[in-house]
Amino acid sequence: MPRLSRVLSLFSIGLVGAVATGSIAVSAPAVAPQVPDPYYPMDGNVGYDVQHYDIHDTYRFGDGHLSGTTTVTLVPSVRLTSFNLDLLLAVDSVLVDGVEAEFDKPNKHELTVTPPGALPAGTPVEVTVAYQGVPADLDWNGESNWLADDREVVLMNEPHMAAWWFPSNDHPSDKATYDIRVTTAAGREVISNGVRVGRTVDGDQATTHWRMAQPMTTYLAFFAAGDFAIESGRAHGIRYYNAVSEQLGASETKSNLDLMRQSARITAWLQDELGDYPFATTGGVVTGLDVGFALENQSRPTYPANMPLTIVVHEIAHQWFGDSVSVARWRDIWINEGFASYMEWRWREVQGGATTNRTLRDYYSYYKDVRGFWRLNIANPGPALHNLFNTAVYDRGAMTLAALRNKIGRADFRRLLRRWVDVNRADNATSEQFEAMAETVSGKELDRFFQVWLRADGVPPNKDRFGL
């Protein structure tokens, strides 16, 4: 996710700017999900694993009211006499395997469910929650994440978004599959993750059904509804679905559709770089709302209008780095953002711009005297949003990878990236796992390298500066 301030900083720097890739299957070390996350202790819940979300939401544009029923299919990992889900909306009822259950909201973020009887470990359970409210009125952890006007709504934010529209185990380490059905005025389009299954009209209302068949983290689930120009089909061997808000006007709608048409080409190029695309469809959504950032919603990123093409590269690169391979803990965010930023550099290079190594040196020259840029430990930046999504996480993350390519050589670096996304496909991972894999692939001891580039408080010394 590039914040707008980061996009503008790239323009002001004026930099333009690789790495090629082979697929090797090896066993990955197990990562215990870190729930609750130390950065956000109220996120996520222990004692169960969610397998599937079946979401049925109705949204009214007139007053911004949302109501819905979501069935969460979960498997207890221990015997449960009660459990929690994360939800900001008011709850009307809860069923556990079709039987009414007691529930409570001890605070506005938590829903505590007490089933009629204890749930045994290992047996799947269906928990059906009915809820309603006005999401625009809700805030949590200093975030007011609902984005809507009287013609359009788009659900996009990180690290939190799910609690505004469905109950969940809201942490990246608990991934699940999804069916998402949204009912709204029949004249509006609804776009979501994955493949559109169908649309049914009932009077002045229509329900659109989308399905994400590959595991997805909760903050990447989304829907957008409003007046959109839609294009779908197949290009470069990849299925796509693009949508652009008609609130932008005819000229901007056309230019942004032209931009979204590049999604399939970029996806195909990244597939050559990194290995098979992880999902069944690609594309993008351009909103007419004033959102100020883009987000890598799984299979279909969302954008403000008129983004540079490199930001489309960034968000589609996230489909491998962040969506398929997701963080195990929020502290590992650089393995999302630094990797996606690095692929921007690679794209510039193959398009005839500066080489990746030239970009590394230009960034170093630009930042070498910016003390705060080197002070942040980007492998553990802290939970404050200005740290979690700090420019250093993006740019120093990309610099780390470019320097690592120099350190271990292009061939090993190519193997490393492809192995990383292959081994951890549809799973979660940590920075330490990536560091260990880099040592395994290259046969080099890299503790000092990663200490200098990720964690040390200071500019990399001369001999480590460019990984040479």
- The predicted pLDDT at position 66 comes to 98
How would DSSP label each residue in 227-260?
A: SEEEEEEEETTEEEEEEEEGGG-HHHHHHHHHHH
Judge if the upstream peptide bond of residue 460 is cis by omega within 30 degrees of 0: no
The predicted-structure confidence for 150-209, as pLDDT tens digits, reads as follows 999 999 999 999 999 999 999 999 999 999 999 999 999 999 999 999 999 999 999 999
- The predicted pLDDT at position 34 comes to 63
- The predicted pLDDT at position 414 comes to 97
Cβ count near 384 (within 10 Å):
11
pTM of the model: 0.93
Q: Could you tell me the CA-to-CA distances from 433 to 29, 277, 430, 436 in Å, in that order? A: 8, 22, 5, 5
Burial class (CB in 10 A: 0-12, 13-18, 19+), 319: buried
- The predicted pLDDT at position 464 comes to 65
Cα–Cα–Cα angle for 282, 284, 289, rounded to 5 degrees: 160
Would you say 160 and 140 are in contact if contact means Cβ atoms under 8 Å apart? yes
The predicted-structure confidence for 418-459, as pLDDT tens digits, reads as follows 999 999 999 999 999 999 999 999 999 999 999 999 999 999
Would you say 183 and 207 are in contact if contact means Cβ atoms under 8 Å apart? yes
Q: Which residues of 362-383 are buried (b: 16+ CB within 10 A; e: fewer)?
A: bbbebbeeeeebbebebbbbee
Distance CA 458, CA 59 (A): 50
Flag residues of the chain having pLDDT under 70: 2-34, 462-465, 468
- The predicted pLDDT at position 6 comes to 40
- The predicted pLDDT at position 327 comes to 97
Tell me if the domain spanning 4-31+326-464 has CATH number 1.10.390.10: yes
Per domain, the residue ranges of the chain are 4-31+326-464
- The predicted pLDDT at position 463 comes to 63
Cα–Cα–Cα angle for 135, 139, 140, rounded to 5 degrees: 130
